Amino acid sequence: MTDLSSNPVKAVPSARPNSGSLYQRDTRTRRRNAAEKRFRAYGLTAILIAVLALAFLVTTIIRDGSGAFRQTYLSIPVALDAEILDPQGNRDPAQMASVLTLSYGQVLDRALDRAVADLNLQIPGLQDGDVDGLVSRDASAQLRRMVLDNPELVGQTVDVNVLVNGRIDGYFKGRVTMQSAERDSNVSPQQLLLAEALRDEGLLVTRFNREFLTNADASDQRPEAAGVGVAMLGSLYMMLVVLFLAVPIGVAASIYLEEFAPKNRITDIIEVNISNLAAVPSIVFGILGLAVFINFVGLPQSAPIVGGLVLTLMTLPTIIIATRAALKSVPPSIRDAALGVGASKMQTVFHHVLPLAMPGILTGTIIGLAQALGETAPLLLIGMVAFVREFPAAPPEGLFDPASALPVQVYNWTQRSDPAFVERASGAIIVLLVFLLCMNLLAIYLRRKFERRW
Amino acid sequence: MKFLGLGATALSVIALTATAASARDQVQVAGSSTVLPYSTIVAELFGENTDFATPVIESGGSSTGLRRFCEGVGPNTIDIANSSRAMRETEVAECAANGVTDIIEVRFGYDGIVFASAADGNEFALTPADVFNALAARRVVDGAVVDNTATNWAEVNPDLPDQEILVFVPGTRHGTREVFEEKVIIQGCADSGAKEVFEAELSEEDAKEACVRLRTDGRSIDIDGDYTETLARIGSSPNGIGVFGLSFYENNTDTLRVATINGVVPSTETISSGEYPVSRPLFFYVKKAHIGVIPGLKEFAEFFVSDAIAGPNGPLAAYGLVSDPELASVQQTVADEVTMQ
């Protein structure tokens, strides 16, 4: 830039001799060309830095997070001991429900011990407790659900496919090594050797983990069972609320402001305020949401409806600004022509201006939605940054059930003590990025599809 | 037009259901991030083993949780506050002012606080006095109060390794900080004889203040985030020592090496026997007015403190909780809904 401005004509009067030949570049032309080259180089460097940063971000996330989409499972036969699981012996599900998952853990431990003994594996230094620690704590819950759904299974031996403990799973993903296992109080190298032997026998399989997308969050003790199901549903519900509230309100407001409202001091003030609101930190909307929707209106905490309402407030300015810009870009000749053939003002707007402005409106809306999808701060105050395991019901009732959200899930998982949650958090980021990518692709597609040229 | 119509319909549906929305059917909990993992483990098991919905658990810190707990009575307020310290007088008064008068205090176990450094670093055998001398803003050398300029652990105590002093301590918004100050720094202040010197010069209150004032020259760093942040800081500066909860350390023994205090290795056993000095009770507070209104509230509290869960062989102990030796009386408190005085 300095080159351009420090290059006034009077500074280099002698550098421009009237030699005349157009084939010979004079000093001034050379400087101008050099300045342009430099500018291009700066631009290219900027883009290159941005691309490198993005590539770094994406590769780290994919490297850390791809593991979340693969999970290790163990299939073993389990003898469902009637003495433990149905002490009354009458197969009454109501009475069998009093048997806690902890008892199912015992059943599972026995089955494991037997399976390992049957295989006759020789692993030096293997201790009794090591075999039990192989499967996830979620496995006993899975077994209990299975038995309560079908009490007739008690007394039989069934083949089950259960999750493997997070540390063992981490070993097959390269997160846990023999060296780290030696220092780790939660896993021993013998367990890893045993797991390897079981894998060689074909009992232990690492496969695609669909459950990551459908499971709810899990506690610190079973990272292997944690999934983004509830969070995805919560995010979806919030986006529905935002879509159904922010779009009509935002578009209506912009049409009125742009086409009907008189241009006076009041509309000027409103305009300034809208631009201002677009830049207000999102946490402010969270405080507002807590005060208005929860404390005043009495809506429940942790509910997607409140999250959706807060995000609606946050997205409205973005949508209004984008819509007004789109309406402004429709040439006045269209309006004049419509009015000229006798259309009313409203007909002009809805039949001619709005359809032409639609691509711009859609793009603005989708960008606003994408922004809302990634928001965590306003959700903190309305109780959505929480551990939620129950899936919300179908809308509209489900909008009032507690739910989490995708960015919240990422935030929650980065705070857990078990290192396996790092992988989960990155996995959730991948899901979030895929969502955002889809939304942006949709925005581009819609814009292309409805685009008009004059 | 279609847009507007659709929006209007949606609005009316939402307005209708909003008025019809009844009391919630799941327990809501908020508070200490130290108690959070225990609370989620219990909530998970509770949801799995009973017909009640899994409670919703928020984090945010002991003080935040208790403030929200004290906001009032009604389905829009939380039912249980988790806390890594006992409720303060002022908080009880605030609760009472908002109509929350009957509060059941439940102490469900103890948590140890440990010093840990990178697994491949030096071994540390600390005493509270060492920590005080390394971290206090002013310490006592040969009977005179001097500004703390020690840069190396060996300078503080020749038996300690020759390593730069760099400690990550929990920030003031954490309940852990209070315990750290009380059980380590003030103890160290007394053990090193600094307290006596301070008290001779200042009033008792000021002497305590002088004890807990940590140095600000970058040797003692406040961490306002969670333990995962402390862990990340140790990862990037291998000379650092971090203050962690015992359960967090036990989940990361592959990357962390724990320091002994007074020669005792922290573990659930040494903490419950009282040998390891730095521990604190963990609490949750139940709003009695919500029992019978929110389904499963009392059942959840009872489930939490039952022997199968909070006992020495339960899943909480496996995660790092030091179970309460007086668990039976705690169970009785919950069963009888005995409120705080």
A221: phi then psi, degrees, rounded to nearest 5: -85, -15
Please report the sign of the dihedral spanned by the C-alpha atoms of residue A96, residue A102, residue A108, residue A110. negative
Q: Give the span between the Cα atoms of A379 and A406, in whole angstroms.
A: 11
Check if B315 contacts A (Cβ < 8 Å): yes
Block means of pLDDT (10 residues each) for chain B, 341 residues, are: 51 49 79 90 91 89 88 89 89 91 92 90 89 88 83 88 90 80 89 84 82 88 86 89 90 89 89 86 92 91 91 87 89 90 72
Check if A305 contacts B (Cβ < 8 Å): yes
CA angle A168, A172, A173 (to 5 degrees): 110
Average pLDDT on A302-322 reads 93
Q: Give the span between the Cα atoms of B182 and B208, in whole angstroms.
A: 10
> A259: Cβ–Cβ under 8 A, 6 or more apart, which residues?
A327, A345, A349, A353
- Which of A101, A222, A419 is facing B252, going by the closest CB pair? A419
What pLDDT score does A341 carry?
A: 94
Q: Is the per-residue pLDDT at A286 higher than 50?
A: yes
Query: The pTM is what?
Result: 0.85
- Which of A181, A221, A415 is facing B315, going by the closest CB pair? A221
Q: What does the domain layout of chain A look like in residue ranges?
A: 2-65, 68-212, 229-450
Check if B54 contacts A (Cβ < 8 Å): yes
- Which of B39, B43, B227 is facing A417, going by the closest CB pair? B227
What pLDDT score does A226 carry?
A: 92
What pLDDT score does B1 carry?
A: 47
Check if A69 contacts B (Cβ < 8 Å): no
Q: Is the per-residue pLDDT at A129 higher than 80?
A: no
Lookup: tokens for B319: 């995660």
Contact indicator for B302, B334 with CB cutoff of 8 Å: yes
Please report the sign of the dihedral spanned by the C-alpha atoms of residue B241, residue B247, residue B250, residue B252. negative
Contact indicator for A402, A234 with CB cutoff of 8 Å: no
Q: Is the per-residue pLDDT at A334 higher than 80?
A: yes
Contact indicator for A379, A305 with CB cutoff of 8 Å: no
Task: Give contacts of B1 with chain A, Cβ < 8 Å.
Answer: 350
Q: Which residue of B has its CA nearest to A244?
A: B7
Interface of B with A in 76-115 (CB under 8 A): 76, 78
CATH 3.40.190.10, chain B: domain bounds: 22-110+280-336, 112-279
> B284: Cβ–Cβ under 8 A, 6 or more apart, which residues?
B29, B31, B35, B39, B80, B81, B82, B83, B106, B108, B301, B304
Q: State CA A22 to chain mean position distance.
A: 60
CA angle B261, B262, B266 (to 5 degrees): 40
Task: Give contacts of A295 with chain B, Cβ < 8 Å.
Answer: 76
CA A202 to chain B, closest CA, distance in angstroms equals 29
ipTM score of the complex?
0.84
> B135: Cβ–Cβ under 8 A, 6 or more apart, which residues?
B148, B165, B167, B169, B185, B214, B215, B219, B220
Contact indicator for B23, A400 with CB cutoff of 8 Å: no
What is the SS3 assignment for B51? coil
Domain A229-450 coded CATH 3.40.640.10: no
How many CA atoms does the CB half-sphere of A232 hold within 13 Å?
20
Average pLDDT on A87-106 reads 80
Residue bearing tokens 């009785």:
B332
A159: phi then psi, degrees, rounded to nearest 5: -85, 125
Q: Is the per-residue pLDDT at A454 higher than 70?
A: no
- Which of A220, A248, A252 is facing B40, going by the closest CB pair? A220
Contact check, Cβ <8 Å, A100/B49: yes
> Which range among A56-70, A83-97, A418-432, B125-139 shows the weakest confidence by mean pLDDT?
A83-97
Check if B227 contacts A (Cβ < 8 Å): yes
Lookup: tokens for B279: 């521990």
**What's the CATH number for B22-110+280-336?**
3.40.190.10
**pLDDT tens string A384-434:** 889 999 899 888 888 999 999 999 999 999 888 888 898 999 999 999 999
Domain at B112-279, CATH from 3.20.20.70, 3.90.1300.10, 3.40.190.10, 3.40.50.300: 3.40.190.10
Q: Give the span between the Cα atoms of A169 and A60, in whole angstroms.
A: 20
What pLDDT score does A19 carry?
A: 60
CA B60 to chain A, closest CA, distance in angstroms equals 9
Distances from the Cα of A300 to the Cα of A96, B36, B288, angstroms: 34, 21, 20
- Which of B7, B30, B252 is facing A244, going by the closest CB pair? B7
What pLDDT score does A122 carry?
A: 75
Contact check, Cβ <8 Å, B59/A385: yes
